């Protein structure tokens, strides 16, 4: 079946602009995770969704970051007033249950100029 | 909270030689352990996992890892590597309890380079 998909695959934006990153999880997966992969920080957890609710937002680095999930499926990660330190690859993963293996999407490479 | 330490950032090895990629973790709760692999210009793929049961787990392409609770380690090994094993390998841990939500804490990664 189809895997996790993310769009866009690449995004270049100017400092101060807002961006939206989209994730389509594997059908039937109730748990959805966002991570960030950057040279300086490695792979970091951002936020977790169970259904449409986000019980764990502990990894969001600032209040410029927000995420939502609708219909228990698609999720959008929004970064407002982007900064250069936001440049990274943003990865989405989904799993059947929260403690099971996670399947990762190909990521969105965000470059803030 | 959990943390993961991958002791080697880069491991060069010749083809058909054995390899071990080291991973140590710390956690105040029971854990699940994972190895993910990232081939050049590709996404993260699950290589193998330890959830419970036998402490030795194997992947379909010849890798194995052993959960050692007393040493808090989950080292990855392969007796004979191939050129195609060249990739970055990430060790990851999640808390086994429900309040951890299954979020993964990753090590910094080990770049395995297999030379002919």
- In the prediction, which pLDDT does B98 show? 67
With CA atoms as reference, report the closest residue to A57 among A45, A69, A72.
A45
- In the prediction, which pLDDT does B26 show? 94
Q: Which residues of A touch B108 (CB under 8 A)?
A: 42
User: Which tens digits make up the pLDDT trace of A91-110?
Assistant: 999 998 766 789 999 999 99
A45 vs B100: which has the higher pLDDT: A45
User: Which tens digits make up the pLDDT trace of B42-66?
Assistant: 889 999 999 888 889 989 889 999 9
Encode A12-38: b = buried (16+ Cβ within 10 Å), e = exposed: ebeeeeebebebbbbeebbbbbbbbbe
pLDDT band at A52 (very low <50, low <70, confident <90, very high): very high
- CB contact under 8 Å between B102 and A33, yes or no, is yes
pLDDT band at A56 (very low <50, low <70, confident <90, very high): confident
User: Which tens digits make up the pLDDT trace of A58-88?
Assistant: 899 999 999 999 998 999 999 999 999 999 9
First to last CA, chain A: 37
- CB contact under 8 Å between A56 and B101, yes or no, is yes
C-alpha to C-alpha distance for A63 and A83, rounded to whole angstroms: 13
Neighbour tally for B55: CB within 10 Å: 12
| Chain-centre distance for alpha carbon B54 | 16
- In the prediction, which pLDDT does B75 show? 97
pLDDT band at B36 (very low <50, low <70, confident <90, very high): very high
User: Which tens digits make up the pLDDT trace of B76-92?
Assistant: 999 999 999 999 999 99
Give the DSSP letter string of B22-82.
-EEEEESS-EEEEEEEE-TTS-EEEEEEE-SS-SEEE-TTS-EEEEETTTTEEEEEESS--
User: Which tens digits make up the pLDDT trace of B8-35?
Assistant: 999 999 999 999 999 999 988 888 999 9
**Which of A34-43, B41-50, B98-107 is predicted least confidently?**
B98-107
Nearest to A95 among B44, B98, B102 (CB): B102
Q: How far is A95 from chain B (nearest CA, A)?
A: 9
Is residue B41 pLDDT above 90, yes or no? no
Q: How far is A103 from chain B (nearest CA, A)?
A: 7
Residue B92 · residue B110 · CB < 8 Å? no
C-alpha to C-alpha distance for B33 and B36, rounded to whole angstroms: 10
Instruction: Show the tokens assigned to B36.
Output: 């993910």
Q: Which residue has the tokens 């951890």?
A: B100
């Amino acid at each position: 079946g189809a895997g996790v998909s993310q769009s866009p695959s690449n995004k270049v934006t100017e400092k101060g602009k807002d961006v939206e990153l989209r994730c389509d999880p594997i059908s039937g997966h109730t748990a959805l995770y966002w991570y960030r992969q950057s040279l300086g920080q490695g792979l970091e957890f951002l936020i977790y969704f169970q259904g449409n609710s986000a019980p764990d937002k502990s990894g969001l680095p600032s209040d410029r970051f927000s995420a939502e999930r609708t219909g228990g499926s698609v999720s959008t990660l929004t970064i407002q007033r982007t900064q250069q330190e936001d440049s990274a690859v943003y990865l989405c993963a989904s799993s059947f249950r929260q403690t099971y293996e996670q399947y990762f999407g190909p990521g969105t490479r965000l470059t803030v100029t | 909270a959990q943390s993961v330490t991958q002791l080697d950032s880069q491991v060069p090895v010749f083809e058909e030689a054995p390899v071990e990629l080291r991973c140590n973790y710390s956690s105040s709760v029971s854990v699940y352990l994972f190895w993910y692999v990232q081939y050049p210009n590709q996404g993260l793929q699950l290589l193998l996992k330890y959830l419970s049961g036998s402490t030795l787990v194997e992947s379909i392409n010849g890798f194995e890892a052993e959960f050692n609770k007393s040493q808090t380690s989950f080292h990855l090994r392969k007796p004979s590597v191939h050129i195609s094993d060249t990739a970055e390998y990430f060790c990851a841990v999640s808390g086994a309890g429900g309040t951890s939500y299954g979020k993964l804490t990753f090590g910094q990664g080990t770049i395995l380079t297999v030379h002919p």
